Amino acid sequence: MANHSQFGFQDASSPIMEELVEFHDHALMTALAICCLVLYLLTLMLNEKLTSNTVDAQEIELVWTILPAAVLIMLALPSLQILYMMDEINEPHLTLKAIGHQWYWTYEYTDFKDLTFDSYMIQTTDLPLGHFRLLEVDHRVIVPMESPVRVIVTADDVLHSWAVPSLGVKTDAIPGRLNQTSFTASRPGIFYGQCSEICGANHSFMPIVVEAAPLANFESWSSLL
Amino acid sequence: QSFKLLGFLDVKNVPCARESILYGSLGSLVMGLGHFIATSRVRRSCDVAVGGFICTMLGYWFYCRYNLAQQRIRQRMLKEGMKNRILFEGSYLDPEKEQTGRERSDS
C-alpha cells in the first residue's frame, strides 16, 4: 500500500509493473534533459542573448524538427513494447471474475467449482489494531503466486474500476461489458487497491485486496469455500 | 528519504540516475572548460557545456539501463535455473545426472 504523502509508484509486485516503473524512470530522465535545455534557452532569452539570427536560421528549423521526433521515438518504442506485453496471451492458470457493485466487489472463481463471495470494506470502527483504514476488506481475493491470473471485470450497476497499483492493474468495470486483464504476482504478499472510477457516495470505500499465496495455501483456502 | 532533482526525478532511488547526473555534470564541465580554453568564446562554451551535459547524461543513462536490463535477465535465468535444479534433482530430468553418466561412459 502507499505510505502517507507517497508521490511515486508503490513497489512493483508483478513483471509488468516492473517494466512500467522502468519506463517511467526512462521518461522522467528524458523530461529532465528537455527541462535542462528549456531552462537554458529561457536564461538566454531573458538575458537577450537569443537573437533572431539564431531563431530565423534554416539550421534551427532542422534541429527543432529532428530533435522532437527523436524524443518521441525514444519514448514511443518502449511504451509500445510494454503495451503489447500487457496484451500477450499467456495461458492463465486461473480465471477470476470481479463484479463491481455499489459499493462492494463480488469475486467468482468458477474454473472448477462455483465459488462466489462478496468483498466489503471493513468499517473504521470495526478495524482491528494495526490494520489499514479504508483499505481492509472482510474477504480478500486469494491468488496463487507466480501464476498468471486472468481477471474478467464487469459491473452490475454503474461504472467502477478494478485497480491494484503494485500489480500494475487497472481495468474499468462497465455494466454489460466484460473487460479482461491479467497479472502474475511475483512474490507472496498482500496488495491493496481502490475503486478507480467515480461511482457514487461510497466510491472511496470499496477497496480491493489481493493476497498472493503459495499454491498449497491457495488450494487449502479454496477447499474451505 | 528521497532527493528529487527539479522536483520530479528521485535521484537516490532510481537506478542509474545519480551516476547519470554526476557523469553528465563532469562531462559538461570538461567539455565547456575545454572549449573555452581552446576558443576563449564564453557564449559558445556555455552552449557546449549544456549540450555536453545533456548528451553525457543521456548517453550514460542508456548504457547503464542496458546493463541493468541484461543483469535482470541473467538474474531471472539464474532464479529459474536454481528452481529447476531443485525440482529435478535426482530425477531422470536432472541434467547433472546425464553429465555424470556421460563422464562414466567416456572413462
**In chain A, domain spans:** 15-87, 94-224
* Residue B57 in contact with partner chain A when CB distance is under 8 A: yes
For residue A48, the distance in angstroms to the closest alpha carbon of chain B comes to 12
pLDDT for the residue B107: 53
pLDDT for the residue B7: 73
Which of A8, A26, A49 is the closest to B10 by Cβ?
A: A8
Q: Can you tell me the distance from the alpha carbon of B46 to that of A214, in angstroms, rounded to the nearest whole number? A: 58
pLDDT for the residue B9: 76
What tens digit of pLDDT does each residue of A47-88 get? 887 777 777 778 888 888 999 999 999 999 999 999 999 988
Domains A15-87 and A94-224 share a fold: no
Three state DSSP letters for A105-173? EEEEECCCCCEEEEECECCHHHCCCCCCCCCCECCCEEEECCCEEEEEEEECCCCEEEEEHHHCEEEEE
pLDDT for the residue A214: 94
Whether complex ipTM tops 0.85: no
Range B68-80 average pLDDT? 92
Select A94-224's CATH number: 3.60.20.10, 3.30.1130.10, 2.60.40.420, 1.10.150.120.
2.60.40.420
Backbone angles phi, psi at A137, to 5 degrees: -125, 165
Question: CA of A49: which chain B residue's CA is closest?
Answer: B43
Q: Number of A:B CB contacts under 8 A?
A: 40
pLDDT for the residue A224: 81
* Residue B77 in contact with partner chain A when CB distance is under 8 A: no
Range A190-211 average pLDDT? 96
Q: Which residues of A touch B17 (CB under 8 A)?
A: 25, 29
Q: Which residues of A touch B6 (CB under 8 A)?
A: 32, 35
What's the mean pLDDT when you consider all of chain A?
A: 92
Q: Which residues of B touch A22 (CB under 8 A)?
A: 65, 69
- From the CA atom positions of chain B, what is the Rg in Å? 25
Question: Which residues numbered 29-88 in A keep a CB inside 8 Å of some CB on B?
Answer: 29-33, 35-37, 40, 49
Instruction: Report the CATH fold assignment for A15-87.
Output: Helix Hairpins (1.10.287)
Assign B21 a pLDDT band (cuts: 50, 70, 90): very high
Question: CA of B18: which chain A residue's CA is closest?
Answer: A29
